Chains A and B, each alone.
Chain A
Amino acid sequence: MPTLTYLQAISSALRDELRADPRVLLMGEDIGVFGGAFKVTDGFVDEFGTDRVMDTPLAESGIIGTAIGAAVVGMRPVCEMQFSDFISCGFDQLVNVAGKMHYRQGLAVPITVRLPSGGGFSGGPFHSQNPEAWFMHSPGIKVVAPSTASDAKGLLHAAIHDPNPVCYMEHKHLYRRVKGEVPSGVFETPFTARVAQPGSDLVVIAYGAMVSVAMEAVSDGLDGASVEVLDLRSLVPLDEEAILDSVERCSKVVIIDEANSTCAAGAQVAALIAEKGFESLDGPVVRVATPDVPIPFSPPLEAAVLPGVERVREACRELLAY
């Protein structure tokens, strides 16, 4: 099985889909001739042509809206927002047209929206966001967030095959830093959570780039404690069963959000645990999240707000001792 980076895994998924399914169409700014801002589609035009790897005008609302139109007449558009931050320019089309269409009209909208997300490289307020909570909150939209190279490929295949609008949160920080064995060909990763590391004294729940932060934070065993790491992978649908199972076994929970704290995905997980996992708890549900600030540009400021290994480790230590 080949070892690929997270970014190569995404490219692999897109390439395999374009080869396997003539309905698949990639749309985005600078993805064609230029090969994409992050080179995810480098070389694609040579194999698939400019029609199928479309350089669109600079128009996020246009990208999402036309993708919807193409989808309802039988295509499988995979649109890219160059940075997840720009989804706000296409928010209306995604939330009001795509998200609500099946409920209202019984008409499926099989679009995938790739959203390069997250910070950690001085991207500043408009190139570092994690906007998934906006779409968890909008009915009719699925949201997935891979943390490993294999899941990056499998979840993208599954997203493209899904008949519903799917937001695919690909984390920019992981593009070249995460490597792993990735099966070849088309395969699907289910929209469920994954136990990244089993444990019994405490569970750290995370997704996206925060999974590696969690793994590093607990890697030295935390004074002999047995700590589980649960990788959510799918935010809508949220894997309630897996979350409650981890809570039942571990009884102590730390939830990490790289997104701004208020109403982040972790807030929903915490509410779920408080409601349905109460009898398993041996301590309060602890959250480690970025505070409610725009992501700052200067490195010490950015490092101060994004959840890092030390902050997570400290939260785990305190809760274990509680």
Chain B
Amino acid sequence: MATHTAEPAAGGEAAVEHLTLEDRVWLLRAMLMMRGLEERAMTLYRQGKVPGSFYDGYGQEAVSAGAAFAMGPQDRLCILHRDLAAHLIRGVSPARILAQYMGRAAGITRGRDGNVHFGDRHLGCVGMVSMLPDMMLVATGMAMAFKLRGEARCAMTWFGDGSTSRGDFHEAMNWAGVQKLPVIFVLENNQYAYSTPVDKQYAVDPVERAAAYGFVGVTVDGNDAEAMFEAVHAARERALNGDGPTLIEAVTMRMHGHAAHDDMKYVPKEQVEEWRKRDPIERQENRLRVLGVDIDSLRASIKAEIDAAAEEALAGPMPDPSSAVEGVFCEGEAEPLGDGQAPWSGFGAA
């Protein structure tokens, strides 16, 4: 149960460890799309088209992109609010994401919940709640079902440094450990829970708590998408082998405020500057540029996709007010979560 830090891949090879070149470009695509969509949504927010609050994962894109990329189609995810790339990798369309932010009828929740509180059930994702980390228990429960039924699948969830202080973190860790469940807990340590820095949050680095609950904890560079992938891939193998859960602490930095209305004055400028140098997208671009990938063309195609998505989302109607009281109960059969996309070459995807 020793912790170790995953090493970033040595530069210069097209395929590394478990990733082909296409895979590595996919990771960059997902991160660029996440950042681009969030920037577009932020503009829409400032133009008054996104109601409520707006949250993004600027600077943390690798944590969700790398981790989600290692998940198979039958695996199940509980995705959090700074993990938009995970939704993209599973197959949610950018237009629906923007519609979701704007509270339109075409959004994944059809206006019933806002910003990143969504999960496309047809793609195997459970929509988060605001009480964090409630979803850790849901992921644990999904893993429990997989184990009871003897299925080769796992569940994964993300949560932040702040939520490790709540009871549900401990109940989930304990339950997963005592029942040795195929679940992956990704702790996004982005140094701050709103304005609370980690040294006010816990007395020990939470990755060490994995040992207390009887399983492996690893620390990973959260700004390296490929390192994230490798760590989650290894955790998934562990889970499928029946060796139980893994806690992965992804070390990263929240580069924007807690939400769009927070200017993060409480974060020392030097800290922000230090982390800017480690931007995950820049890092991945540098790796791929060396391998001859046309970054500019990639960026351009993503921008075009986002423009088209914004146009589509803006053209869509708001939900019908009379539908506000519908759908509280399921009236028909309960449908379990469906399978998501899994573009990693290791899953045999085209």
Q: Are chains A and B touching in the complex at the 8 Å CB cutoff?
A: yes
- Report A's interface with B, CB cutoff 8 A: 25, 51-52, 56-57, 59, 61-62, 64-75, 77, 92-93, 96-97, 100-110, 139-140, 142, 163-164
Q: Which residues of A contact B148 (CB under 8 A)?
A: 25, 51-52, 70, 75
Rounded to whole Å, the gap between the CB of B63 and the closest CB of chain A is 22
Known: A65-B168, A71-B334, A96-B129. A102 touches B137 (CB 8 A): no
Q: CA separation between A100 and B121, bound complex, in Å?
A: 14
Contact of B113 with A by CB under 8 A? yes
The 10 closest A-B pairs by CB, nearest first: A69-B141, A65-B137, A66-B141, A163-B334, A108-B334, A62-B171, A108-B330, A74-B336, A69-B142, A105-B127
Q: Which residues of B contact A93 (CB under 8 A)?
A: 134, 137, 168
Using CB atoms, name the residue of chain A closest to B333.
Answer: A163
Contact of B126 with A by CB under 8 A? yes
Q: CA separation between A276 and B304, bound complex, in Å?
A: 58
Using CB atoms, name the residue of chain B closest to A101.
Answer: B127
16 A-B interface contacts by CB (under 8 A):
A25-B148, A65-B141, A66-B175, A69-B139, A69-B145, A70-B141, A70-B144, A73-B76, A97-B135, A102-B327, A103-B327, A104-B118, A105-B118, A105-B127, A106-B327, A163-B333
Q: Which residues of B contact A59 (CB under 8 A)?
A: 171, 174-175
What does the 1/0 interface line of B88-131 toward A look like (CB < 8 Å)?
00000000000000000000110011000111010000110111
Q: Which residues of A contact B142 (CB under 8 A)?
A: 69-70, 72-73
User: By the criterion CB–CB under 8 Å, are B143 and A69 in contact?
Assistant: yes
Contact of A72 among B126, B130, B167 (CB under 8 A): B126
A65-B140, A65-B168, A72-B138 given; name 4 further pairs at CB < 8 Å.
A66-B141, A72-B142, A108-B335, A139-B328
Q: Which residues of A contact B172 (CB under 8 A)?
A: 62, 65
Q: Which residues of B contact A56 (CB under 8 A)?
A: 175
Q: Which residues of B contact A97 (CB under 8 A)?
A: 129, 131, 134-135, 138
User: By the criterion CB–CB under 8 Å, are A75 and B167 in contact?
Assistant: no
Q: Which residues of A contact B117 (CB under 8 A)?
A: 104
Contact of B109 among A52, A61, A105, A142 (CB under 8 A): A105
Using CB atoms, name the residue of chain A closest to B110.
Answer: A106
Q: Which residues of B contact A69 (CB under 8 A)?
A: 126, 137-145, 155
Q: CA separation between A84 and B172, bound complex, in Å?
A: 22
Using CB atoms, name the residue of chain A closest to B125.
Answer: A105
Question: Which B303-350 residues have a C-beta within 8 angstroms of A?
Answer: 327-330, 332-337
Q: Which residues of A contact B171 (CB under 8 A)?
A: 57, 59, 61-62, 65
- Report B's interface with A, CB cutoff 8 A: 76, 108-109, 112-113, 117-119, 121, 126-127, 129-131, 134-146, 148, 155, 167-168, 171-172, 174-175, 178, 327-330, 332-337
Q: CA separation between A92 and B76, bound complex, in Å?
A: 22
Q: CA separation between A277 and B117, bound complex, in Å?
A: 41
Q: Which residues of A contact B131 (CB under 8 A)?
A: 92, 96-97
Q: CA separation between A62 and B121, bound complex, in Å?
A: 22
Using CB atoms, name the residue of chain A closest to B76.
Answer: A73
User: By the criterion CB–CB under 8 Å, are B138 and A68 in contact?
Assistant: yes
Q: Which residues of B contact A106 (CB under 8 A)?
A: 121, 327
Using CB atoms, name the residue of chain B closest to A51.
Answer: B148
Q: Which residues of A contact B146 (CB under 8 A)?
A: 73
Q: Which residues of B contact A92 (CB under 8 A)?
A: 131, 134, 168
Q: Which residues of B contact A142 (CB under 8 A)?
A: 329
User: By the criterion CB–CB under 8 Å, are B332 and A163 in contact?
Assistant: yes
Q: Which residues of A contact B137 (CB under 8 A)?
A: 61-62, 64-66, 68-69, 93
Q: CA separation between A139 and B129, bound complex, in Å?
A: 15
Rounded to whole Å, the gap between the CB of B140 and the closest CB of chain A is 5
Q: Which residues of A contact B135 (CB under 8 A)?
A: 97
Rounded to whole Å, the gap between the CB of B164 and the closest CB of chain A is 15
User: By the criterion CB–CB under 8 Å, are A62 and B174 in contact?
Assistant: yes
Q: CA separation between A210 and B224, bound complex, in Å?
A: 63
Q: CA separation between A276 and B130, bound complex, in Å?
A: 37
Q: Which residues of A contact B130 (CB under 8 A)?
A: 96
Q: CA separation between A197 and B144, bound complex, in Å?
A: 46
Q: CA separation between A61 and B133, bound complex, in Å?
A: 11
Q: Which residues of B contact A67 (CB under 8 A)?
A: 141
User: By the criterion CB–CB under 8 Å, are B328 and A57 in contact?
Assistant: no
Q: CA separation between A57 and B108, bound complex, in Å?
A: 35
Q: Which residues of B contact A105 (CB under 8 A)?
A: 108-109, 113, 118-119, 121, 126-127
Rounded to whole Å, the gap between the CB of B29 and the closest CB of chain A is 26
Interface centre among A51, A52, A102 (most CB of B within 10 A): A102
Q: CA separation between A56 and B172, bound complex, in Å?
A: 12
Using CB atoms, name the residue of chain A closest to B168.
Answer: A61
User: By the criterion CB–CB under 8 Å, are B129 and A107 in contact?
Assistant: no
Q: Which residues of A contact B332 (CB under 8 A)?
A: 163
User: By the criterion CB–CB under 8 Å, are A57 and B329 in contact?
Assistant: no
User: By the criterion CB–CB under 8 Å, are A102 and B329 in contact?
Assistant: yes
Using CB atoms, name the residue of chain A closest to B108.
Answer: A105
Contact of A104 among B113, B136, B168 (CB under 8 A): B113
User: By the criterion CB–CB under 8 Å, are A103 and B337 in contact?
Assistant: no
Q: Which residues of B contact A102 (CB under 8 A)?
A: 327-330
Q: CA separation between A108 and B328, bound complex, in Å?
A: 10
Interface centre among A72, A92, A164 (most CB of B within 10 A): A72
User: By the criterion CB–CB under 8 Å, are A66 and B327 in contact?
Assistant: no
